[in-house]
Amino acid sequence: MGKETGFLEFKRTDNIDVLPQDRIKNFDEFHKALDTDSRRKQAARCMNCGVPFCQSAMNLSGMVTGCPLHNLIPEWNDEIYKGHDKHAFNRLHKTSNFPEFTGRVCPALCEKACINSQNGDAVTVHDNELYLVETAFKNGYIKPEVPSIRSGKKVAVVGSGPSGLAVADELNHRGHIVEVYEREDEIGGLLMYGIPNMKLDKSVIKRRRKLMEDEGIVFHTNTNIVAGEKANELLNSFDAVVLCCGSKKARSLPIADPEKVKGVYNAVDFLTQTTKALMKADSTSVEALEKQGGFISAKGKNVVIVGGGDTGNDCIATSIRHGAKSVTALEMMPNPPKERTDKNPWPEWPKVLKTDYGHQEAIYLYGKDPREYETTVKTIAVDKKGNIKQIETVKVTFRDGKLVEVPNSEKTIKCEMLLIAAGFVGCEDYTAEAFSVRRSQRGTVLTADDSYHVAGSKIFCAGDMHRGQSLVVWAIAEGRACAREVDEYLMGYSNL
């Protein structure tokens, strides 16, 4: 696979990033592709390792390493190296419905399992994947594939995030009639309104929607299934209903009435408003967004973000583009090491420090890393009008598995905007209640063991609503697996 000596001859070269001082002036995607010759050299680094952990999705020490979609990575890397881009894309598309999404936003579990990363730098699997799908669109390899025969079976998919789109795509190509219901004005779920434009340009989602519509899928936007009557209408009109509504109930802070304080927002609400305003603006520049208005603005404010995951990082980058006076990110966990420890060997997921694009931009703009580890919010102070003006933080540590405060570690920080990016605790109540489905203690919909089927019904569930908050790649994998089960339910067998 690839060139036998490629990993020795060629060094890893990532897609080129626009410099922080330039990219913070707009909301454009900032990863610039390598030229074709350089891409082939990167693919040549994929060695014939014999056991490709990159496509394994193995659970090691409680964390998954390798691709959940089991992408045939060595095969299509070999085809890229040899210049067979169409064949390479066909191998990629065999296991991945939307590589244009994962090629932009996936944290590349595949690369963490690449054997080259054991004693050097992993193959640029993530960038190679994006190259393939964008080349496929550019050269017309991707065309509408309308099923020649329809089964007559009708499936309703509630929610159009990555899992819902994967379910719809698979079942439509199988020949079933698929309609997707989305409460927002655009499809995509968190792909559209939870991930900023600079990571995933919204034209990419609209391009995929057009393709799926041309293939026969019907999207109903601005349609929220909020009550039992609406749910029953779907259950009576369709042969199967698949719930893919995500895990959107945000985790709150353990402080008194934060929702009553002006200036405290859930991270996704903050990001959503920026994206919606940007989609109405004349361009993707910071000036155009500000001129458009109508969004929660961080301009001139001392911003504090609670939560150190991808969403917290996106909030940092978005706040910077708004023109925040300062940005501080609070993380409850300890600062991870820069290199793997002996207790975290390859091919386990590397528990090491990751400095993402938002952190890089904050370091450039403010002169320091915005993250404060082992820290959380203890109290909030407001002015006479109820606006947040400062917070008191406290150091925390884990003792006997419990989070406890460190005595005399309190610190006061100026804060006119507090963004909560502390994760999610399950699906929203009204969706589960409308369909009368039971939930676990984690807020996920209960299905039969090792199944996506809600026992005794025509209801199925996939994605974050089924497994809890996770990655886009896992949502797509869930959608594909669920679609197979729905197909078997409808037809008595499945060739998906």
Residues 99 and 167 both lie in one domain = no
Residues 296 and 352 both lie in one domain = yes
Residue 248 lies in a domain: no
Domain end (from 359, 387, 420): 420
Residues 309 and 401 both lie in one domain = yes
Instruction: Write the single-letter amino acid at 65.
Output: T
Instruction: Give the separation between CA 155 and CA 235, rounded to whole angstroms.
Output: 10
Beta strands in 2-102 (DSSP E): 16-17, 31-32, 58-60, 63-65
Residues 67 and 206 both lie in one domain = no
Beta bridge pairs of residue 393: 377, 411
HSE-up (13 A, CA, CB side) for residue 95: 18
Residue 319 lies in a domain: yes
Residues 10 and 159 both lie in one domain = no
pLDDT, tens digit (0-9, with 9 covering 90-100), for 133-147: 999 999 999 999 999
Instruction: Give the separation between CA 198 and CA 106, rounded to whole angstroms.
Output: 14
Token duo for residue 469: 């908050």
3-state SS class at 425 = coil
Q: Count up the domains in the chain and report the number.
A: 3
Tens place of pLDDT per residue across the chain (496 aa): 678 899 999 999 999 999 999 999 999 999 999 999 999 999 999 987 889 999 999 999 999 999 999 999 999 999 999 999 999 999 999 999 999 999 999 999 999 999 999 888 999 999 999 999 999 999 999 999 999 999 999 999 999 999 999 999 999 999 999 999 999 999 999 999 999 999 999 999 999 999 999 999 999 999 999 989 999 999 999 999 999 999 988 888 877 666 688 999 999 999 999 999 999 999 999 999 999 999 999 999 999 999 989 999 999 999 999 999 999 999 999 999 999 999 999 999 999 999 999 999 999 999 999 999 999 999 999 999 999 999 999 999 999 989 999 999 999 999 999 999 998 989 999 999 999 999 999 999 999 999 999 999 999 999 999 999 999 999 999 999 999 999 999 999 999 9
Residue written as token pair 């679609």:
483
Residue 27 lies in a domain: yes
Residue 406 lies in a domain: yes
Token duo for residue 154: 């009708």
Residues 24 and 96 both lie in one domain = yes
* CATH number of the CATH domain containing 71: 1.10.1060.10
- The pLDDT of residue 50: 86
Instruction: Give the separation between CA 267 and CA 280, rounded to whole angstroms.
Output: 21
- DSSP code of 453? B
Residue 393 lies in a domain: yes
Q: Burial-class residue 401 by CB neighbours within 10 Å (0-12, 13-18, 19+).
A: exposed
Residues 405 and 265 both lie in one domain = yes
Q: Which domain holds residue 344?
A: 258-420
- The pLDDT of residue 326: 98
Residues 42 and 88 both lie in one domain = yes
Residues 276 and 385 both lie in one domain = yes
Residues 386 and 274 both lie in one domain = yes
- DSSP code of 18? P
Instruction: Give the separation between CA 264 and CA 390, rounded to whole angstroms.
Output: 11
Residues 281 and 312 both lie in one domain = yes
- The pLDDT of residue 229: 93
Check: CB of residue 411 under 8 Å from CB of residue 392: yes
Domain end (from 363, 391, 420): 420
Domain end (from 112, 138, 164): 138
Residues 131 and 21 both lie in one domain = yes
